[in-house]
Amino acid sequence: MKSISFLVAVLIPLLAISSAHAQSSFDDDARPIRLMSYNIRYDAPTDTPNWTQRRPHMARQIAFFDPDILGVQEALSPMVAYLADHATHYDHYGLGRDDGAQIGETTTVLWRRTRFERISVQTLWCSPTPDRPSKGWDAALPRTVTRVVLRDRTSGRLLDVRNAHLDHVGAVSRERCAALAADLAPAAIDGQTAAVVLLGDFNAGPDSAPYRRVLASGLKDARAISPVVFGPASTFNDFDVAQDNDGVAIDHVFVGQSLSVQRFGVPTDTFAGQVISDHFPLVVDVVQAGR
């Protein structure tokens, strides 16, 4: 009985999120934009479960939630290729952090081709030399911010998407990288200013300098302003579905003033009792204000 109650409690809100997204597609001008942020955990052969075991479940999970825009972190180029092969209606952009091409983790952004037109793309490194592969301040590893500016093919509105993965060691690097990503001036074309989305793995909770730095830029935490919130407070599980990371979210989605949030969810899907990544994804529906 307990198991049935648990499944009902988990599935009904998630199905509601998915069905609301599908129903809204009948009115393209008012249709929400579904955002998804996902640290998919790099391909470490010693992981349990490893990437080969996890990837078909991840591909199905992404297909179920059917995001319009997906930002992934820790995504090696072959991992991006696998997901792209199983989601052929998306275009994507992201460069390897080690060489600015194929080597190293990426913060790739994928977007629904039929809905969005690519306007411009950019990769920034979290360092004093953001225009080239580099490691900055006290960071243990090179870190990148991927920026993709898109135009909605139906409404003509612009969206300025930034996907970041902040360092897990360097406190100075985290704050500087958060500032780099948040302080970029919104893209503007022909008198229209883009709505801003900043998402990713910040390796920092709400009570932290990087988080406060993003809020100081004028962006808002989508979770904090959503009228509907589902799922655990934490987002890191360390490959244990029961792990709650002391109830602290380190993955976030921030939105600009012209975006309103309809719902925010942290799905905790598993297969054979195992989680799909060591982070749970974030699924957020937003609506862009009129031009």
* DSSP-assigned states of every residue in 57-107: HHHHHHHHH--SEEEEESB-HHHHHHHHHT-TTEEEE---TTTSSSSS-B-
pLDDT at 31: 87
| 3-39 pLDDT per residue, tens | 444 444 444 455 555 555 544 433 455 689 999 999 9
Output DSSP code: residue 44.
-
Can the peptide bond before residue 32 be classed as cis, meaning omega within 30 degrees of 0?
Answer: no
Measure Cα distances from 75 to 58, 249, 283, 286 in Å.
Answer: 13, 20, 18, 25
| 237-272 pLDDT per residue, tens | 999 999 999 999 999 999 999 999 999 999 999 999
Q: Is 221 in contact with 197 (CB distance < 8 Å)?
A: no
Which residues on neighbouring strands pair with residue 148, listed in sequence order? 121, 161
Dihedral sign for Cα atoms in the order 269, 270, 275, 277: negative
Helix H or strand E encompassing 15? helix 2-24
Query: Residue 287 — very low, low, confident or very high, per pLDDT cuts 50/70/90?
Result: very high
How many helices (DSSP H) and strands (DSSP E) are in the chain? 6, 17
| 196-239 pLDDT per residue, tens | 999 999 999 999 999 999 999 999 999 999 999 999 999 999 99
31 versus 161: the higher-pLDDT residue is 161
pLDDT at 27: 47
Quick one: how far is CA 180 from the chain centroid?
17
Pair of tokens at residue 63: 């297909």
What integer is the mean pLDDT of 36-65?
A: 98
At 187, which CATH number? Answer: 3.60.10.10
Quick one: how far is CA 215 from the chain centroid?
17
Question: What is the count of structural domains for the chain?
Answer: 1
| DSSP annotation string for 223-272 | HHH-S-EES-S--B-TT-TT--GGG---EEEEE-TTEEEEEEE----EET
Query: What's the domain range around 7?
Result: 2-288
> Exposed, middle or buried by CB within 10 Å (0-12, 13-18, 19+), for 280?
buried
Phi-psi sector, 222: left (phi>0), alpha (psi -120 to 50), beta: alpha
